[in-house]
């Protein structure tokens, strides 16, 4: 094998350009250097642009629920200037230790994704080639951002909603629905569902021991959904956080005859700092249903206990929170050694995030199940980017594309029209 040197890298780029992967105008001549880091709130998604001295820019994105992240992204600017963006790991080594659990790891994660976008463009190859190449030609997705409004929260309402999901044009083979404390409306639809009063505040504020009535209500709603889906489409449940370990075991055992794909975040989870591996291990060992958590985690360190203690069956970090696509690939490989499956979170990751998921999913090891399908929101996002297939999802899968980098580019003039006044220089 040829030694990887700057000269060989330049030869690779030149060969890719000659083959048509790169235009002569975009081909880098020697070492690239980061000259700027920008962040704009496009719609509601914090969108990162890393600018190089040779005309190549890379893009990353954070969830649409995090428009407040812009100052945090720009905090890292001084650490990046002058660095070679194709040295992704070396650049991230400077900043990754300053990230934190959701939502604060999202800034570094978006930067990491943008670095991979540049590296792929510079080499004239899709990002999945830089991550080790394709393990699969298409990646499975579950519904994520595709939801239909609920008209109520009885078992009948959930059955009707699943009937609509079953007929969705994307043809999902796996659907996830929120129940329990992850769905405050479900728990508040009946009186005295748990031994506490409803709370207000940050995401998923309710917590406690369920009453008999509350437990029966959640189980009945799941049974109604499963009756509609049968064995044609898998059903996963987003359940918490907030349930006690004992209630989680009771509920999980009630789900065993229904062959639920997984139970997510029952004990700790979204916007909780500590994953509580010991309690999850007790739950996992008490049931045959797959137990899932991880969307709030940042970095391999926060995944370590869950993996090494065999605390869960499925791990679901979000590449836009965990530290990026390379970081999640590393975590997935380590999880695979422990027979733990991977189903990444991603409901609000946007279209740049969608591209990152596809590239990452293509290169994931065999423990990859599916990722959560994000939409462009607002709808005009689909008018300001090029590179996505049409339709994007076919029979529950997305075909992996081979365009350089993430393979998604902005229609700059259309995108400029959507920028806020303070972000007007984002594409300049």
The total of structural domains in the chain comes to: 2
Tell whether 384 is covered by a domain: yes
Claim to verify: residue 370 and residue 255 sit in the same structural domain: yes
Claim to verify: residue 137 and residue 72 sit in the same structural domain: no
Mean pLDDT of 229-242: 97
- pLDDT band for 30, please (50, 70, 90 cuts): confident
Tell whether 372 is covered by a domain: yes
What pTM did the predictor assign? 0.92
CATH for 187: 3.20.20.120
- pLDDT tens, position by position, 340-353: 999 999 999 999 99
Q: How far apart are CA 198 and CA 183, in angstroms?
A: 12
Claim to verify: residue 157 and residue 302 sit in the same structural domain: yes
- pLDDT tens, position by position, 45-73: 999 999 999 999 999 999 999 999 999 99
Mean pLDDT of 390-411: 98
- pLDDT band for 203, please (50, 70, 90 cuts): confident
Tell whether 251 is covered by a domain: yes
Tell whether 413 is covered by a domain: no
Claim to verify: residue 47 and residue 157 sit in the same structural domain: no
Cα–Cα distances in Å, from 158 out to 163, 172, 177, 234, 296? 9, 17, 9, 15, 27
CATH for 110: 3.30.390.10
Whether the per-residue pLDDT at 210 is higher than 80: the answer is yes
Claim to verify: residue 230 and residue 302 sit in the same structural domain: yes
Claim to verify: residue 157 and residue 16 sit in the same structural domain: no
Give the per-residue pLDDT at 165: 98
Claim to verify: residue 299 and residue 229 sit in the same structural domain: yes
Claim to verify: residue 118 and residue 165 sit in the same structural domain: no
- pLDDT tens, position by position, 248-265: 999 999 999 999 999 999
pLDDT mean across residues, the chain: 93
Tell whether 1 is covered by a domain: no
- pLDDT tens, position by position, 374-384: 999 999 999 99
Whether the per-residue pLDDT at 408 is higher than 80: the answer is yes
Tell whether 428 is covered by a domain: no
Claim to verify: residue 153 and residue 114 sit in the same structural domain: no
Tell whether 200 is covered by a domain: yes
Mean pLDDT of 202-209: 92
Tell whether 13 is covered by a domain: yes
- pLDDT band for 163, please (50, 70, 90 cuts): very high
Claim to verify: residue 276 and residue 254 sit in the same structural domain: yes
Strand order of the β-sheet with 263-264 is 174-178, 234-238, 263-264, 291-293, 314-315, 341-342
Claim to verify: residue 113 and residue 189 sit in the same structural domain: no
Give the per-residue pLDDT at 145: 96
Strand partners, 49: 38, 59
Claim to verify: residue 179 and residue 30 sit in the same structural domain: no
- pLDDT band for 29, please (50, 70, 90 cuts): low
- pLDDT tens, position by position, 97-126: 999 989 999 999 999 999 999 999 999 999
Q: Which domain holds residue 95?
A: 6-125+418-423
CB proximity list for 166: less than 8 A, separation 6 or greater: 175, 228, 229, 232, 233
């Amino acid at each position: 094998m040829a030694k990887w040197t700057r000269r060989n890298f330049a030869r690779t780029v030149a060969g890719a350009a000659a083959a048509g992967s790169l235009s002569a105008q975009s081909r880098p001549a020697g070492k690239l250097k980061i000259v700027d880091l920008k962040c704009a709130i496009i719609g509601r998604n914090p969108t990162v642009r890393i600018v190089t001295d040779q005309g190549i820019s890379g893009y990353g994105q954070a969830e649409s629920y995090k428009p407040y992240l812009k100052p945090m992204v720009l905090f890292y600017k001084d650490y990046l200037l002058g660095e070679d963006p194709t040295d992704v790991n070396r650049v991230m080594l400077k900043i990754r230790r300053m990230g934190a659990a959701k939502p604060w790891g999202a800034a570094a994660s978006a930067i990491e994704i943008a670095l991979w976008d540049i590296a792929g463009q510079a080499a004239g190859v899709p990002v999945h080639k830089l991550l080790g190449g394709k393990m699969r030609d298409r990646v499975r997705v579950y519904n994520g951002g595709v939801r239909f409004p609920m008209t109520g929260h009885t078992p009948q309402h959930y059955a009707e909603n699943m009937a609509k999901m079953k007929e969705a044009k994307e043809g999902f083979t796996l659907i996830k629905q929120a129940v329990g404390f992850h769905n405050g409306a479900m728990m508040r639809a009946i009186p005295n569902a748990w031994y506490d009063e409803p709370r207000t505040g940050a995401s998923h504020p309710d917590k406690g021991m369920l009453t008999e009535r509350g437990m029966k209500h959640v189980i009945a709603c799941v049974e109604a959904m499963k009756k509609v889906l049968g064995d044609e489409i898998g059903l996963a449940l987003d359940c918490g956080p907030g349930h006690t370990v004992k209630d989680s075991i009771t509920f999980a055992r009630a789900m065993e005859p229904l062959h639920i794909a997984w139970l997510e975040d029952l004990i700790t989870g979204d916007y909780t700092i500590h994953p509580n591996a010991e309690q999850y291990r007790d739950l996992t060992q008490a049931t045959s249903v797959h137990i899932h958590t991880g969307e709030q985690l940042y970095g391999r360190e926060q995944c370590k206990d869950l993996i090494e203690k065999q605390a869960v069956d499925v791990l679901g970090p979000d590449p836009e929170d965990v530290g990026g696509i390379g970081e999640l690939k590393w975590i997935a490989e380590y999880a695979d050694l422990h027979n733990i499956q991977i189903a990444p979170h991603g409901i609000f990751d946007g279209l740049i995030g969608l591209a990152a998921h596809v590239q990452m999913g293509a290169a994931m090891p065999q423990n990859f199940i599916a990722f959560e399908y994000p939409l462009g929101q607002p709808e005009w996002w689909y008018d300001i980017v090029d590179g996505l297939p049409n339709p994007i999802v076919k029979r529950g899968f997305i075909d992996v594309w081979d365009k350089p980098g993430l393979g998604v580019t902005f229609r700059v003039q259309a995108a400029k029209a959507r920028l806020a006044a303070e972000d007007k220089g984002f594409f300049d």
